[in-house]
Chain A
Amino acid sequence: MQFKDYYEILGVATDADLKAIKTSYRKLARQYHPDVSQELGAEERFKEVTEAYEVLKDASKRSEYDQLRHQYDGASNFQPPPGWQSTSAFHEGSDAQYAQGFSDFFESLFGGGHGGGFADFRDSARRGSDVEVELPVFLEETLGETTKTITYELPQAQEDGRITLVSKKLNIKIPVGVIDGERIRVPGQASPGIGDAPSGDLYLSIRLVPHPLFDVEGHDLIITVPIAPWEAALGTKVNIPTLDGEITMTVPTGTQTGSRLRVRGKGLAGKQGRGDLYAVLKVVMPDRDGASIDEQWRMLAISCDFDARANWRD
């Protein structure tokens, strides 16, 4: 595995004091935190920085690391010296979980595995960790109660203290009217507890799948409906789809492009009943298909005394 130069990662001198290390960490953490940074690779960089800080801020980890760094001969494939055992490895469950995203390098120095470390927390009873799973839901499915089968992976502590992923399947009733981003708690369906402690909870984070026709705005739906110029002028009846069947909608005379017609109660389900469906009308020009049509437009232009740009630049 690759040797990690934690000093270089944090951009501090090898004799930097704790204050300088903290300052540099905070600055880099703000720069690369995945919640804050839009930079490519920020998350990886952030993990690296956290890992470096985890070691350098702790006097005993740092001195153990310094010792290894001193002995390291620059070989591309680093291995800890035979019989290496850290005296400052993580012992608490929460810390061990926190360190899950760290590199193999870190794991080989301060982690559990064969050397102890993480293994210690198997002895004490501990509540299983919660798990969050994203659940894609189609708009049609939000109108009534739906059952979905979900498959998800759970981190589970093994006998030797190592953590592996175990696949799990579950049938879930999705309540009526879920919205995008909603979180649903399913108690006790995440990682089993250790000892007598209870299992963790499963959290489903609802994601509404984008629909080819409908856009979502709160509990309302929006559909764009193309109409011909003469339909806009003279009015017409148009069949439009809704989430639960087709309906006929009346387009009034003199309709402008972009005007919205409301169809009550055909939106998404909500606590106060269903939202509305808005049809946004879009006047579409026909393809030019011949001189006779052009002639009719020309006659229209003459008979219809209309300047589309009359109030344009006022």
Chain B
Amino acid sequence: MADIPKSSFDLVQFCAAIGITAEVIIEIVEIGIIEPPGSRPEDWIFDAHMLGTTRHAIQLQRDLQVDWAGIALALNLIEERNRLQREVHHLRARLERFIDQAKD
């Protein structure tokens, strides 16, 4: 049985997990794509969510060839669009329960 620890990484572990240099991570943090707690890079603590975001950012950067500021904007917009899609989905489901009279 695999127990699930609360996962966190330091900068070195984070770089190893993603397979990228610390310079890139520092750039991504400086532009605010992820915000690990800790004041200096060696104190930064990363979590699984940041790992996902960073991977996504790197993939987008590679695919779209946009600078990090553009990637930050794209990620915000994608996240916002996903949130809105989920909300539309939820509201529609609730509305259907409400206006769809029992037909049987």
Residues of A within 8 A of B4 (CB): 172-175, 184-186
Is A22 close to B, CB under 8 A? Answer: yes
- Beta-carbon contacts of A115-158 to B below 8 Å, as 1s and 0s? 00000000000010010100000000000000100000000000
What's the Cα separation between A222 and B66 when bound, in Å?
42
- Beta-carbon contacts of A264-288 to B below 8 Å, as 1s and 0s? 0000000000000000101010000
Is A25 close to B, CB under 8 A? Answer: yes
Interchain pairs with CB closer than 8 A, number = 78
Is A61 close to B, CB under 8 A? Answer: no
What's the Cα separation between A229 and B3 when bound, in Å?
52
Contact pick for A184, options B48, B62, B102, CB 8 Å: B48
Query: Quick one: closest A residue to B2, CB to CB?
Result: A186
- Beta-carbon contacts of B1-30 to A below 8 Å, as 1s and 0s? 111110100000000110100000000000
Question: A26 with B65: in contact, given A284-B101, A284-B102 (CB under 8 Å)?
Answer: yes
What's the Cα separation between A172 and B3 when bound, in Å?
7
Contact pick for A183, options B19, B49, B62, B65, CB 8 Å: B49
CB distance from A269 to the nearest CB of B (A): 16
Judge whether A203 and B19 touch: CB under 8 Å. no
Question: A226 with B102: in contact, given A171-B2, A173-B3, A185-B48 (CB under 8 Å)?
Answer: yes
Judge whether B90 and A217 touch: CB under 8 Å. yes
Q: Interface size on A (CB < 8 Å)? A: 41
Query: Quick one: closest B residue to A184, CB to CB?
Result: B4
Is A216 close to B, CB under 8 A? Answer: yes
Of the listed stretches A30-38, A64-72, A80-88, name the one at the interface; the rest are far from the partner chain.
Answer: A30-38
Question: A94 with B19: in contact, given A36-B78, A186-B2, A284-B102 (CB under 8 Å)?
Answer: yes
What's the Cα separation between A216 and B63 when bound, in Å?
35
Residues of A within 8 A of B52 (CB): 132, 183, 203
What's the Cα separation between A29 and B62 when bound, in Å?
10
Judge whether A215 and B90 touch: CB under 8 Å. yes
CB distance from B76 to the nearest CB of A (A): 12
Judge whether B98 and A280 touch: CB under 8 Å. yes
Judge whether A29 and B65 touch: CB under 8 Å. yes
Residues of A within 8 A of B62 (CB): 98
**Quick one: which of B37-57 are within 8 Å of A by CB?**
48-49, 51-52, 56
What's the Cα separation between A276 and B60 when bound, in Å?
39
**Quick one: which of B47-104 are within 8 Å of A by CB?**
48-49, 51-52, 56, 60, 62-66, 74, 78, 90, 93-94, 97-98, 101-102
Judge whether A203 and B48 touch: CB under 8 Å. yes
What's the Cα separation between A258 and B99 when bound, in Å?
11
Judge whether B17 and A26 touch: CB under 8 Å. no
Residue of B17, B74, B78, B93 with highest tally of chain A CB at under 10 A: B17
Given contacts A171-B1, A203-B52, 9 further A-B contacts (CB under 8 A): A22-B65, A33-B63, A36-B78, A46-B63, A183-B52, A185-B4, A187-B5, A201-B7, A224-B94
4 shortest interchain CB distances as A-B pairs: A185-B7, A224-B97, A185-B48, A183-B48
